[in-house]
């Protein structure tokens, strides 16, 4: 049996045996905004894809019925991984942010450290919904503007903040999702923000 | 009942893999790390075999799902079986499980440190 499996091409890179704590960060944004690109630029593994299915009856409620015979909806998402040290591993999830996705939020993303809203200035309206939903779920987030080369009108961060009606306390930064250092900076900005929130909460 | 191949790609397939159950064990988070506690044995369900092989090193639930090409819910059910039989152990995330409660600053400090050292 062992020989049969070892013949299969395996590109999996295992975690350290001491790995014990998994953490989550979600990157939300519209189609084509660069979520997978951002995940790829910082991930230690090639981004993987998976899905969750839900029955129509299961939307927003606990489903106790059988899978068979029901209409099912599938929500796909991709993810990457960063081993922070021997014990801690951070998973980055690229999530589509469309309506049906949010029905699955509690089931998939409870316990998420925080979120990055990735914004394309050519399609800013897609970001409003994501921001609204994150505020609804009370999940801390930062907003990163993925700058594309072919951007003809370059809006300033101030203009974008106004356009998104983003409160001052939410960090807003530029990034280039293709560049590893830039992707890292986005994550560091988020965790810095979370750290500030956590210390403020702990001292009150 | 004849057992059909599992890779038929329709909802029936999921029904077969889980023996008709659709209620998953919520104890398994997407990033719960699973570790095999034994080698697969003859006669085991093929999905169980693959999970035990994958989890010789700690493996997150979401990676098992991607590798097996099975939805998260189905993987949670399969893991629930293996856990009940004592064939795996699970290392659950220690981050706050409820939405809207922040993880402690010590944990975040470690995360920051790890990210800066990448």
CATH of the domain at B62: 1.10.10.10
The reported pLDDT for the residue numbered A4 is 40
Instruction: Say how many CB pairs under 8 Å bridge A and B.
Output: 176
Residue B100 lies in a domain: yes
Question: Cβ A53–B73 below 8 Å, yes or no?
Answer: yes
Average pLDDT, chain A: 85
Q: Please, what are the domains in chain A?
A: 18-203 (3.40.50.300)
What is the least distance, in Å, from the CA of A142 to any CA of chain B?
A: 15
The reported pLDDT for the residue numbered A63 is 44
ipTM value, please give it.
0.85
As given in the structure block, the two tokens for residue B9 are 């790609």
DSSP for residue A181: H
The reported pLDDT for the residue numbered B4 is 47
pLDDT in tens, B17-75: 777 776 666 689 999 999 999 999 999 999 999 999 999 999 999 999 999 999 999 99
Quote the CA–CA distance of A105 and A98 in Å, as a whole number.
11
Pairing of strands A141-146, A21-28: unpaired
Per the structure, the complete domain to which residue B37 belongs is given by: 6-116
Q: How many domains does chain B have?
A: 1
Contacts of A49 in chain B (CB under 8 A): 66
Chain A contact for B109, CB < 8 A? yes
> Which has more confidence, A181 or A126?
A181
Chain A contact for B115, CB < 8 A? yes
Output the CA angle A93-A132-A27, nearest 5 degrees. 15
Question: Cβ B71–A88 below 8 Å, yes or no?
Answer: no
Question: Is pLDDT above 90 for A50?
Answer: yes
pLDDT in tens, B104-114: 899 999 999 99
Question: Rg of chain B over CA atoms, in angstroms?
Answer: 17
> Which has more confidence, A11 or A128?
A128
The reported pLDDT for the residue numbered B13 is 67
**pTM: predicted TM-score of the whole model, two decimal places:** 0.86
Residue B1 lies in a domain: no
> Which has more confidence, A152 or A5?
A152
CB < 8 Å from A in window 56-85 of B:
56-60, 62-63, 65-67, 69, 71-73
The reported pLDDT for the residue numbered B57 is 97
Of A1, A67, A84, which is closest to B11 when you measure between CB atoms? Answer: A67
């Amino acid at each position: 049996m062992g020989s049969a499996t070892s013949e299969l091409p395996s590109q999996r890179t295992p975690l350290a045996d001491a790995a014990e704590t998994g953490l989550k960060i979600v990157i939300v944004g519209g189609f084509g905004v660069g979520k997978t690109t951002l995940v790829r630029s910082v991930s230690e593994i090639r981004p993987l894809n998976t899905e969750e299915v839900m029955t129509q009856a299961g939307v927003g409620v606990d489903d106790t019925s059988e899978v068979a015979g029901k209409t099912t909806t599938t929500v796909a998402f991709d993810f990457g991984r960063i081993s922070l040290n021997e014990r801690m591993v951070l998973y980055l999830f690229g999530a589509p942010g469309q309506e049906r996705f949010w029905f699955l939020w509690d089931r998939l993303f409870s316990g998420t450290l925080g979120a990055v809203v990735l914004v394309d200035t050519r399609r800013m309206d897609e970001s409003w919904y994501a921001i609204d939903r994150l505020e609804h779920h009370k999940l801390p987030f930062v907003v990163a503007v993925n700058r594309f080369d072919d951007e003809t009108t370059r809006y300033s961060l101030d203009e974008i903040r106004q356009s998104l009606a983003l409160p001052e306390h939410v960090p807003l930064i530029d990034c280039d999702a293709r560049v590893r250092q830039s992707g890292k900076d986005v994550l560091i900005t988020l965790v810095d923000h979370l750290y500030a929130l956590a210390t403020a909460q702990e001292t009150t | 009942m004849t057992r059909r191949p599992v890779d038929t790609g329709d909802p029936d397939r999921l029904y077969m893999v889980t023996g008709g159950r659709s209620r998953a064990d919520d104890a398994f988070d997407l990033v719960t790390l699973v570790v095999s506690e034994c080698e697969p044995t003859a006669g085991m369900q093929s999905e169980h075999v693959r999970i035990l092989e994958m989890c010789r090193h700690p493996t997150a639930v979401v990676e098992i799902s991607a590798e097996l090409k099975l939805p998260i819910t189905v993987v949670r059910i399969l893991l629930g079986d293996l856990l009940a039989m004592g064939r795996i152990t699970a290392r659950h995330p220690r981050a706050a499980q409820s939405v809207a409660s922040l993880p402690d600053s010590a944990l975040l400090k470690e995360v920051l440190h790890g990210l800066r050292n990448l």
